Every structure is written in structure tokens, then in C-alpha cells.
Homo-oligomer: A and B are copies of this chain.
């Protein structure tokens, strides 16, 4: 693959412009107001797969947003890599915190991205990262060095729980048949510290509603005598953690896999500086479960975070009102072997149980996902490790990630193959945040590294 660098050099402006065009489409799956844009993004992805050289492409309808499929079959006897990604993005709000409009991509230099980064919602999560694969495959096809078969499965509901994907996988086992699943929807430690994600946390996401009086009330006439749903929701939320920041839901930790001292020691070898971490986030101190380090807290430990809360008067000035209702969105990150449905049920039972008599409580489950851990002794992981070593000149560090790709565990269950998580973004790329961005160096480095995965994977697979 000597000429991969030249190919990238010769085409990098086009690679950037194509991604920028894709980023201009506000494909926000969480907000129905943008449903046409989500569809438009699917169409754009199919077009890109065709242009990259896939000989079959298809927009596959589901009960939700479509899955874009594409494939290039070199020889049915050769191994097949299935690339997964998603073309939908997170909502951009709070809008006022964006330095430039989220769907008008701009390139700016940052300390961590001296060659510039593309600022736009979805730049890193996940449009920029799955598009690396489209361009890497384009290179291998055009330069006739694609060593095996490749299939693409790019969905449009990842940010809202991939509700339609399980049925899609079930119905299309043959079409999706593969030997290994390759995903770039995670990050790496630093541009000079390549890492491969070997684990992902699961997710349970609920929305709660607390109702006090049947209407908003004057806080003078009623204050002190009626259940205030905001005060009570705050009390209920506060009670979900104990003084050691452990979650108080009965049974919550029952199935949590405790790592051995050896595994924890191994984890501790990954470079991490808590002072830099605090400085980067401008926080006076880290915060979390007693007895665990910061990297452990965000990777091997389960969590409970309120992602949104609202109730009463939130406008300008002062309004002396007691609200009728208060709401919160609460998510729990899960680790092996917690089961999202079971945890969601435990949460619901507990949250109902702690509600005082004066209020009515509703809990509505949103999406969930199983945690996942990749064994590092399989040839997929080894091929990825060799690829990183080739292009970075360093051994990649195996790392447990804190995020969730709810569908990953299902892939293994239904498609019966291992998942390799080759992420090229950085934690500081602000995914899910205002000013999300993706380093141009990272984008091109991904395009350069991916073909080596195909090369080494095919070699290892065919040797067997």
C-alpha cells in the first residue's frame, strides 16, 4: 500500500469537501422537525458509496429511518468486512454556545489540532468517522488493492437508540453476512497515543415526570402547604446517590463485573493526568464513585446522570409560582454484565417507591443498550493493532471506553462476528457538545490506517 499516502495527498481537498457537504445536512434523528433532512442524509450516503465503487447500493426501509447498505464483492471465497456507522447526529442545542452555526462547517486550528479541525455537528460523531471508511474503500477499489469483500451498513437512528436495527439485522442475516465488523464511532487517547477501544458501556435512559397540584399555583397562597414537584424531584434525584456517590437503586450493582487488581493495574498504565483533565474542563475537582480512579469511573463503573431537568418558570425575571409538574431525563451507563432492560425496571420500581404520597410519578423508558467487551486475542483486534503500528509507528493501547453504541452487543449476538472499534477522534472533540469538531489530521490518518486493517485482516484470516 505504498501509494496510499500519495492517493490521500492527491485527493485530500476533495475528501474534505465531500465530508463538509455531508455535514451541512442537519440530520437530527431526535427531532421530528428534521426528518426530511435525515432522509436527505441517507440519500447522500448512498450516492457516496456508489461513487466510492460499491457495485451494489441500497436504501433499506425500516420502521424508522432507513439503513444505507452498500457492498463490493471481490471474491465470495475471501473474507468480508462489514463497516457500521451512522449518518444521524445529536441535537445541536444549546445553540447559543456554538462559535459558528452547527450545520455550516468551518475549519479552524486548535492546540490539539494544529493542522485544523472541521467544526460542525456530526464532524466526529459519526459522519466524519464513517466517511473515513468510504474514502479508504474508494482508495482500495480505485487503486485495485482491495484484498477482500466489504459491506457497509450506515444507519440513521444511532443517536436515538437504533430502534429499527435489531429487526433489520434479523431480516438481513444473509445480506449482512461477514467475518468481522469494523466501526469508527469511538475515540483514541491522543494523536501520539493511538488506542483501540476494547469495551463499551451499556445504557439505560428514562424520562421522569413528577406531578404535584393539578395546576400551577401561587407560591404565596399555597407555598409551604402543598407538594412542590420541583423540590420533590430534586429530593428524589439527590437520593439516587449515597455519600460515596454510589447509586442507591436496590440491585443496581448486583451484576457489575468487578475487575481484578491485575486488570486495574493494567488500566492504570494508560497515560492519564488528572490535573490536565481538571484544567481542560475547568473543574475544581473530579467527582465520582469513592474508591475508583477517574479513568475507572468513566469506563469500568456504571453511572447515573441527569441529562436534562425542567419545570416551573424558566423565563426572564421572577415568577412566584409552584409548578404542577417537573421533569427530568436520566441516563445510566452500564458495564458488563448489567442488562439495560433489567436496570430500567429496577430504576422504575425504585423511583416509584421513593415518591412521597403527595405526588404522582411517571417513568418513561427511552432507549437502552448492552455493554460490550472485545477480546484482544482475536485476529480482528490483531489486524487493527498491526494497522495502527504501521501508520502511527507505535503500539496501540487497548482501552475500555465509557460511551455506548447500544447496537454493538446485538451485532455479535445476531451476526455472530466480533466487533473492532477503531476510533480516530479525541475525547476533546466535543461530540454531543457545542463546537463539535474532528481533526483533519485524524480524518486523513484514519483513511490511511484503515486499508492496512483490510490487508492484515485478510492475511491473518486466510492463513488460518
Inter-chain contact A356/B316, CB cutoff 8 Å: no
Interface residues of A in 155-175 (CB under 8 A from B): 159-161
Residue of B nearest to A90 (CB): B319
A316 to B235, CA, bound (A): 24
Give 1 or 0 for each of A415-442: 1 = CB within 8 Å of chain B CB: 0000000000001001111110000000
- A322 interfacial contact with B, CB 8 Å: yes
Interface assignment of A452: CB less than 8 Å from any CB of chain B: no
Establish whether residues A402 and B220, one from each chain, have CB atoms under 8 Å apart when the complex forms: yes
Task: Give the contacts of A225-281 with B (CB-CB under 8 A).
Answer: 225-228, 230-235, 237-239, 241, 281
Contacts A235-B238, A283-B226, A359-B284 given; does A313 touch B307 at CB 8 Å: yes
Interface-facing stretch out of A91-99, A343-351, A372-380:
A91-99
A238-B234 in contact given A30-B316, A31-B316, A298-B224 (Cβ < 8 Å): yes
Number of interface residues of A (CB under 8 A): 105
* Contact flag A312-B306 (CB < 8 Å), given A225-B286, A357-B285: yes
Judge whether A19 is part of the interface by a CB distance below 8 angstroms: no
Partner of A287, one of B207, B241, B323, B358: B358
Pick the contact of A310: B284, B303, B310 (CB < 8 A). Answer: B310
State which of A67-75, A107-115, A324-332 sits at the interface with chain B. Answer: A324-332
Bound CA span A207–B305, Å: 23
CA–CA, A160 and B74, complex, Å: 73
* Minimum distance in angstroms from A401 CB to a CB of chain B: 7
In the assembled complex, the Cα of A284 lies from the Cα of B211 at a distance in Å of 11
Tell me if A218 is interfacial: C-beta within 8 Å of chain B.
yes
Taken together, the copies of this chain in the complex come to: 2
Asked if residues A309 and B285 are in contact (CB atoms below 8 Å), the reply is no
Which residues from B are CB-within-8-Å of A219? 303, 305, 307, 331, 333, 432
A228 touching B313 by the CB < 8 A rule? no
A308 at the interface (CB under 8 A from B): yes
> Distance in Å from the Cβ of A236 to the closest Cβ of chain B?
8
| B-chain residues with CB within 8 Å of residue A301 when the two chains form the complex | 224
Residues of chain B contacted by A435 (CB below 8 angstroms): 215
A355 and chain B: residue at smallest CB distance: B284
A317 touches B366 (CB 8 A): yes
- The residues of A with any CB-CB pair to B shorter than 8 Å are 29-32, 90-91, 93-94, 97, 159-161, 187, 201, 203, 205, 207, 212-228, 230-235, 237-239, 241, 281-289, 294-295, 297-298, 301-324, 326-329, 331, 333, 356-360, 366-367, 401-404, 427, 430-435
Pairs across A and B, CB under 8 Å, 25 listed: A30-B318, A91-B315, A205-B318, A207-B318, A213-B282, A214-B281, A215-B281, A217-B433, A218-B431, A219-B432, A220-B402, A221-B403, A221-B427, A223-B303, A224-B298, A224-B305, A225-B295, A230-B308, A234-B237, A285-B356, A285-B358, A307-B319, A309-B311, A310-B311, A318-B367
